[in-house]
């Protein structure tokens, strides 16, 4: 959330940010509302000062034994005007809040300007794309032949675009989750969290999913709770309304959760199998940091997410998202895309974002310097470390063998009981 004072004083900056994001919000409407509010507030303050003066006069008159009815009537009239003006200020505050809650974050100066993914900038590529001696199969065929997942049964249980892992597929999914949790906790030093999978409306607003993305969320109508779209929501909201000692920052968290999103399959692209699903597993990284360190911390969270793919030996590339591709709350975002040979394309498996103080303002998370006693808003970051099921897709497609089996990456073998390979089941 942007501060109204910032919007007022840096109007050109905000208007440029909206243009760069291809957002059609008219800031002029907000400026007029703000001017009206300050005008009404000034009138109310003058009347309150007038009322105080009249009240003092009444006090002196009473002390001198003089009549006060005329002045009291005047005070009542002034008080009624104040009530009317205060109500108008409240109404204007509500309109201003609705408007400001829909203004996206300002992109960092290093973010490329562009309308869509074609403007994203690839800044890094890692690993060699494997040359197969046979035509690599896609994950749908592999899952069917090895009985790793059953999409028809999942549709029968719930509906389309929900996964049902089975047998070795379920074990492999669990192995990936445990491997990532251990890596980020033991090596990278993140504190592991197991948060609720349901959050309230205030939490969803705090991280920026609401009000903009409400239609994409799964909501429990009787309780006004939401299934989480990512662990970012409950984990970041742990500190909502807190003032954190600066010497305790950064705070770094890792959490596994299932994630739920309605928008899966709404893009007109490939929707079968695991590429676009309404429910998926993800290991999420969240940081709460001092403002001066946030962009160094962004590089750190990106590096931690990349290491997952390097250890799995899956080729990938990293892109800086353009202004048109940024999420509502992000100031800068890196996407990590892993190579899927069966699909012959890269698949997004991680987004690492710096929200600067955008989320912190919505949640009221501040820091306090021990020496200066100065308070300010923290910066928040998050990154997928990494997301499934696309990592699952890339793994089985990269490690497939000509006989239909799947090799197990070395780093996953301890999580698979020392197993080296997944063989096709006997007919």
Give the largest Cα separation in the chain, rounded. Answer: 108
Q: What is the C-alpha to C-alpha distance for residues 60 and 55, in angstroms, rounded to an integer?
A: 9
94 or 269: which leads in pLDDT: 94
Q: Residue 27 and residue 364: Cα distance in Å, rounded?
A: 24
User: Helices 167-182 and 390-398: crossing angle, nearest 10°?
Assistant: 110
Asked if 74 contacts 47 with a C-beta cutoff of 8 angstroms, the reply is no
Answer whether residue 71 shows pLDDT above 70. Answer: yes
Q: How confident is the model at residue 157 (pLDDT cuts 50, 70, 90)?
A: very high
pLDDT at 271: 66
Query: In the block, which residue shows the tokens 């929707």?
Result: 271
Q: Which two tokens stand for residue 24?
A: 């059609």
Cβ atoms of residues 409 and 399 within 8 Å: yes
- Domains of the chain by start residue, with CATH: 4-100 (1.10.287.40), 117-422 (3.30.930.10)
Question: What is the tens place of the pLDDT at every residue in 75-133?
Answer: 999 999 999 999 999 999 999 999 999 999 999 999 999 999 999 999 999 999 999 99
The pLDDT of residue 221:
87
Q: pLDDT tens digit string along 381-417?
A: 999 999 999 999 999 999 999 999 999 999 999 999 9
Cα angle 158, 384, 191; round to 5: 110
pLDDT of 65: 84
Question: pLDDT digits over 170-187, tens only?
Answer: 999 999 999 999 999 999
Q: What is the pLDDT of residue 64?
A: 84
Paired sense of beta strands 251-260 and 191-193, if any? parallel
**Mean pLDDT on 268-277:** 76
pLDDT at 269 over 50: no
Average pLDDT, the chain: 95
Q: Is the pLDDT of residue 293 over 80?
A: yes
268: pLDDT strictly greater than 50 = no
In whole angstroms, what is the distance from residue 311 CA to residue 313 CA?
Answer: 5
Contacting residues for 91 by C-beta, under 8 A, at least 6 apart: none
Give the lowest-confidence range in 95-99, 271-275, 305-309: 271-275
- 270 — pLDDT class (breaks 50, 70, 90): low
- Is 298's pLDDT higher than 80? yes
Of the pLDDT bands very low, low, confident and very high (cuts 50, 70, 90), residue 265 is very low
Q: Which pLDDT score, from 0 to 100, does residue 215 have?
A: 93
pLDDT digits (tens, 9 = 90+) for 15-45: 999 999 999 999 999 999 999 999 999 999 9
**SS3 sequence, the chain?**
CCCHHHHHHCHHHHHHHHHHCCCCCCHHHHHHHHHHHHHHHHHHHHHHHHHHHHHHHHHHHHHCCCCCHHHHHHHHHHHHHHHHHHHHHHHHHHHHHHHHCCCCCCCCCCCCCCCCHHHCEEEEEECCCCCCCCCCCCHHHHHHHHCCECHHHHHHHCCCCCCCECHHHHHHHHHHHHHHHHHHHHHCCCEEECCCCEEEHHHHHHHCCCCCCHHHCCEECCCCEEECCCCHHHHHHHHCCCEEEHHHCCEEEEEEEEEECCCCCCCCCCCCCCCCCCEEEEEEEEEEECHHHHHHHHHHHHHHHHHHHHHHCCCEEEEECCCCCCCCCCCEEEEEEEEECCCCEEEEEEEEEECCCHHHHHHCCEEECCCCCCEEECEEEEEEEEECCHHHHHHHHHCECCCCCEECCHHHHHHHCCCCEECCCCC
Contact between 108 and 332 (Cβ < 8 Å): yes
With cut-offs at 50, 70 and 90, classify the pLDDT of residue 218. Answer: very high
332-357 pLDDT per residue, tens: 999 999 999 999 999 999 999 999 99
Measured CA angle at 94 (ends 88, 100), to 5 deg: 135
Q: Please determine, for residue 267, whether its predicted confidence score (pLDDT) is greater than 60.
A: no
Contact 332, 111 (CB under 8 A): yes
**pTM, rounded to two decimals:** 0.93
Neighbours of 55 (CB within 10 A): 13
Q: What percent of the chain has pLDDT over 70?
A: 98
């Amino acid at each position: 959330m942007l501060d109204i004072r910032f919007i007022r004083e840096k109007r050109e900056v905000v208007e440029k940010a909206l243009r760069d994001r291809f957002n059609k919000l008219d800031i002029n409407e907000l400026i007029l509302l703000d001017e009206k509010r300050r005008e009404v507030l000034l009138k109310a303050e003058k009347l309150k000062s007038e009322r105080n003066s009249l009240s003092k006069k009444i006090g002196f008159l009473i002390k001198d034994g003089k009549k006060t009815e005329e002045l009291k009537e005047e005070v009542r009239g002034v008080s009624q005007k104040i009530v009317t003006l205060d109500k108008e200020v409240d109404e204007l505050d509500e309109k201003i809040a609705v408007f400001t809650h829909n203004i996206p974050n300002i992109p960092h100066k290093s973010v490329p300007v562009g309308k869509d993914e074609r403007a994203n900038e690839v800044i890094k590529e890692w690993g060699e794309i494997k040359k197969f001696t046979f035509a690599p199969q896609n994950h749908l065929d592999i899952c069917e032949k090895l009985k790793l997942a059953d999409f028809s049964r999942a549709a029968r249980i719930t509906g389309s675009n929900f996964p049902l892992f089975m047998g070795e597929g379920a074990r492999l999914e669990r192995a990936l989750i445990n491997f990532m949790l251990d890596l980020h906790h033991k090596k990278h030093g993140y504190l592991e969290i197991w948060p609720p999978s349901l959050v309230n409306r205030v939490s969803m607003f705090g991280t920026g999913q609401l009000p903009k993305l409400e239609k994409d969320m799964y909501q429990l109508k009787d309780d006004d709770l939401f299934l989480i779209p990512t662990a970012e929501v409950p984990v970041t909201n742990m500190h909502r309304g807190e003032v954190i000692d600066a010497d305790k920052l950064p705070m770094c968290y890792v959490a596994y959760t299932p994630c739920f999103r309605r928008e899966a399959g709404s893009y007109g692209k490939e929707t079968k199998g695991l590429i676009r699903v309404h429910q998926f597993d993800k290991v999420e990284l969240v940081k709460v940091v001092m403002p001066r360190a946030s962009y160094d911390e962004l590089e750190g969270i990106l590096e931690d997410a990349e290491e997952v793919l390097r250890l799995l030996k899956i080729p990938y590339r990293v892109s800086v998202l353009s202004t048109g591709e940024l999420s509502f709350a992000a100031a800068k975002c890196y996407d990590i895309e892993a190579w899927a040979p069966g699909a012959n394309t890269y698949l997004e498996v991680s987004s690492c974002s710096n929200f600067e103080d955008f989320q912190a303002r919505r949640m009221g998370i501040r820091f306090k310097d021990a020496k200066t006693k100065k308070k300010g808003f923290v910066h928040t970051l998050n990154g997928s470390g990494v997301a499934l099921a696309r990592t699952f897709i890339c793994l089985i497609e990269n490690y497939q063998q000509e006989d239909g089996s799947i090799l197990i990456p070395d780093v996953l073998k301890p999580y698979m009981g020392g197993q080296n390979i997944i063989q096709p089941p006997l007919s």
